[in-house]
Amino acid sequence: MVDMNERRALPRLRPIDLRAVHHEGELRYWLRDPLQLCEDVLIVPPILAAALAFCDGTRDAEGICAAFALQYGQRLPVRVVQQMLQALDQALLLDNERSALAQAQALEAYRQATFRQPICAGNSYPNGARALKEALNEFFGTIDDTAPAIQAKRGIVSPHIDYLRGGRVYAQAWQAAAHLVQEAELAVIIGTDHYGDDPFTLTRQHYATPYGVLPTARPIVEALAEAIGPAHAFAGELRHRIEHSLELPLVWLHHLRNGQPIEVVPVLAGSFTRFMSNGAKPTDDAGVRSFIDALIQLTAGRRAIFIASGDLAHVGPAFGGAPLNAEDRAQITQEDTKLIEAMQAGNAEDFFTTIRRIDNRNNVCGTAPIYLTLKALEAAQGDIAGHARSYAHCPADEEGTSIVSICGIVLD
């Protein structure tokens, strides 16, 4: 068993948010804990940001300096690396006893709360119910009234970007789902887990919006957990506290119900990267099949709406790529169109294969939620069809050289 001193001597970095910023006119990297165990934000120069790659639990400070010199041909003072490690430790960004205790305490507080607090209120959308209603209705007012009147009968593919950038796309999709939302008695929402690799992460907590509380269908959650293994199902539950991919679409759901509650099944889905590299279909995996089979059985006979919460491309310097030009944007649109066509055909396998064919170079973050939703609907109800309601490129940096692409699709 590794003791506390040894783990600190061989530091391992926890999963972190790492973003390039310009601080006092110079390039710096912004480091923050996505779980928000600590509110401290560290700003480091590029040379130290590069050194973080060697904080993998196999080296002490001297070893990190040696590995950095071997990789980059440049020496780092051991004292500087030690200071960096101390700052990382204080900010709870190292995988050690201090951060483990803080995580356990945060999870206990999350589970003891009456409901999950809406973390995006006051930021991505207004905090008060009246102001929120006015803001969302304004987005509905931007919709082209000449568009064909299509109503969702089974589900919806919704963005989860902030409303300032994606409000019109949300509105076009959710307007077409209004009748289904109002008639439904259960909402199954599968959203991108941006901070974890667990295939599925569940929670028993209710989800709140400025309109009130959406109760989680706990019996369904418990049954899903049994199907995929309770230890795995709740291992990353704390990520529900900070993940926006479920909250942002659920606000639109609650809005269209005029604040009336509906039971929800909130699921975070981790990356499908493992299937990109091993050549398998996601449904070749026993855990994926168990989840889909259980979900179908547990929702049978219920008036349910299925919500896939996922954005499309994340491309440009903001995501570690090169600046985009007009030709790049046109190519992204062309590649997104193929994904939208697969969604409209209700073909989960074509959707996934199209992403894998180009090695997911566009960083499609909605891969797992969209695939799982299409497969669940197909298995439960046979052939499905979708109708694209909206599509947009949203700016992702101040220079306009990075974009996030989003779409809204109704499934009937």
Instruction: Please say which residue of 107, 137, 155 terminates a domain.
Output: 107
Tokens of 217: 């269908």
CATH code at position 85: 3.90.930
Instruction: Please say which residue of 107, 134, 167 terminates a domain.
Output: 107
Alpha helices (H) along 262-318: 273-278, 286-299
The half-sphere exposure of 113 on its side-chain side, counting CA atoms within 13 A, is 18
Torsion of CA 80, 81, 83, 86, to 10 degrees: 180
Same domain, 369 and 305: yes
Same domain, 97 and 132: no
Mean pLDDT, residues 94-99: 95
Mean pLDDT, residues 215-230: 97
Question: 205, 224, 240, 409: which is closest to 309 by C-alpha?
Answer: 409
Question: 35, 74, 70, 29: which is closest to 52 by C-alpha?
Answer: 29
Spatial contact of 246 and 309, defined as CB atoms under 8 Å apart: yes
Q: How many domains does the chain have?
A: 2
Mean pLDDT, residues 139-152: 70
Residue 146 has pLDDT above 70, yes or no: no
Same domain, 156 and 94: no
The Cα 285–Cα 276 span in angstroms is 13
Phi then psi for 93, rounded to 5 degrees? -95, 0
Residue 1 has pLDDT above 60, yes or no: no
Residue 12 has pLDDT above 90, yes or no: yes
Residue 400 has pLDDT above 60, yes or no: yes
Spatial contact of 386 and 150, defined as CB atoms under 8 Å apart: no
Spatial contact of 37 and 106, defined as CB atoms under 8 Å apart: yes
Q: State the residue range of the domain holding 131.
A: 115-411
Q: No. of H helices and E strands in the chain?
A: 17, 13
Residue 380 has pLDDT above 70, yes or no: no
Same domain, 144 and 14: no
The Cα 95–Cα 364 span in angstroms is 28
Residue 268 has pLDDT above 80, yes or no: yes
Q: pLDDT averaged over the chain?
A: 92
How many residues does this entry show for the chain?
412
Same domain, 89 and 124: no
Phi then psi for 190, rounded to 5 degrees? -115, 120
Higher pLDDT pick, 246 / 147: 246
E-state strands within 245-344 = 263-269, 304-309, 314-315
Alpha helices (H) along 12-153: 46-51, 61-72, 78-90, 97-112, 129-140
Question: Per-residue confidence at 3, pLDDT binned at 50, 70, 90?
Answer: very low
Same domain, 250 and 355: yes
Phi then psi for 151, rounded to 5 degrees? -115, 130
Maximal C-alpha separation, the chain: 67
DSSP calls for 368-381: HHHHHHHHHHHHHH
Same domain, 153 and 246: yes
The Cα 7–Cα 56 span in angstroms is 11
Same domain, 292 and 268: yes
Question: Within 10 Å of residue 366's Cβ, how many Cβ atoms?
Answer: 29
Residue 232 has pLDDT above 70, yes or no: yes
Same domain, 75 and 190: no
Residue with tokens 């889909």: 292
Same domain, 332 and 233: yes
Distance of CA 358 to the CA centre of its chain: 21
Stated pTM of the model: 0.92
Same domain, 312 and 207: yes
The half-sphere exposure of 268 on its side-chain side, counting CA atoms within 13 A, is 27
The half-sphere exposure of 218 on its side-chain side, counting CA atoms within 13 A, is 5
Tokens of 83: 């200071």
Instruction: Please say which residue of 107, 133, 163 terminates a domain.
Output: 107
Same domain, 87 and 144: no
CATH code at position 318: 3.40.830.10
Mean pLDDT, residues 291-303: 94
Sign of the torsion formed by the C-alpha atoms of 60, 61, 63 and 64:
positive
